[in-house]
């Protein structure tokens, strides 16, 4: 696990974007794993900026998002599909058919999980997977206690996760209680993993991660079992 520290969120985001752009240029049809939330916003802004300057094209890029809330439709203002379209997909030259995200409104959720996992295997492996670090150590929506062998599955969201995400809703009661998420095994199949750590309240989670103790009660610790993980840390999270 390689750890890099940055004096600012902007410099961390620029580094992350540069790393993704380099991989996009190296691979004929790159597959990227994408995350949502506040931490990767700077990364996406930088990717859009570099695209607008003619530095990078997303025409041949395939993307898979980590997760989606159960019950929120594609056009719901708080769905992760809407988030991705607003911050990246609709702002660059993506092929819409190459943008993949779980269907949170699927009638048969287990079938949807199996469909998504099969698609990951068919199109993958993911060349670079972007992750954020949850306060309780979750990656994707894999909450504490999640076995490391899990594939794409439905998860009951921990109250601490729902409280952390309530800032995007009018109240915590409006935050969905379940989501579909790529499992830890799904994530670890990626060739390379980029973990972005930013924001107040992340110091404790970062300390646990860097202690190298591996436990399913701290899902991010599974990353120690991967050979190509880079952790990017900005000053605000220390």
Residues marked active site are found at 67, 136, 138, 143
Tokens of 89: 């997909």
Q: State the burial class of residue 189 (Cβ atoms within 10 Å of its Cβ: 0-12, 13-18, 19+).
A: middle
| Residue ranges in 30-182 assigned as alpha helix (H) | 41-52, 80-87, 109-123, 159-165
Cα 223–122–214 angle (5° rounding)?
10
135 forms beta bridges with none
Name the 3-class secondary structure at 215. coil
Q: State the burial class of residue 213 (Cβ atoms within 10 Å of its Cβ: 0-12, 13-18, 19+).
A: exposed
Cis peptide before 47 (omega within 30 of 0): no
Q: How far apart are CA 142 and CA 184, in angstroms?
A: 7
**Which distant-in-sequence residues (6+ apart) come within 8 Å of 232 by Cβ?**
4, 6, 12, 15, 16, 194, 195, 196, 197
Q: How far apart are CA 115 and CA 54, in angstroms?
A: 35
Cis peptide before 128 (omega within 30 of 0): no
């Amino acid at each position: 696990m390689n750890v890099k520290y940055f004096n600012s969120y902007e410099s961390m985001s620029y580094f992350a974007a540069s790393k993704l752009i380099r991989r996009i240029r190296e691979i004929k049809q790159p597959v990227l794993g994408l995350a949502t939330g506040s931490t990767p916003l700077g990364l996406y802004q930088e990717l859009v900026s570099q695209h607008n300057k003619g530095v990078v094209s997303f025409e041949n890029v395939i993307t898979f998002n980590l997760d989606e809330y159960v019950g929120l439709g594609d056009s719901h203002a708080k769905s992760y599909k809407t988030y991705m379209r607003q911050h990246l997909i609709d702002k660059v030259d993506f092929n819409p058919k190459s943008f993949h995200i779980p269907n949170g409104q699927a009638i048969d959720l287990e079938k949807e999980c199996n469909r998504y996992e099969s698609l990951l295997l068919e199109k993958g492996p993911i060349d670079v997977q972007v992750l954020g670090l949850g306060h309780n150590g979750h990656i994707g929506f894999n909450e504490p206690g999640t076995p490391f062998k899990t594939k794409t599955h439905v998860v009951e969201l921990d109250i601490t996760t729902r409280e952390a995400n309530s800032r995007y809703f009018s109240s915590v009661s409006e935050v969905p209680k379940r989501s579909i998420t790529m499992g830890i095994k799904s994530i670890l199949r990626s060739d390379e993993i980029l973990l972005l750590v930013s924001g107040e309240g992340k110091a404790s989670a970062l300390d646990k991660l860097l202690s190298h103790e591996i436990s399913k009660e701290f899902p991010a610790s599974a990353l120690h079992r991967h050979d190509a993980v880079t952790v990017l840390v900005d000053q605000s999270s220390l």
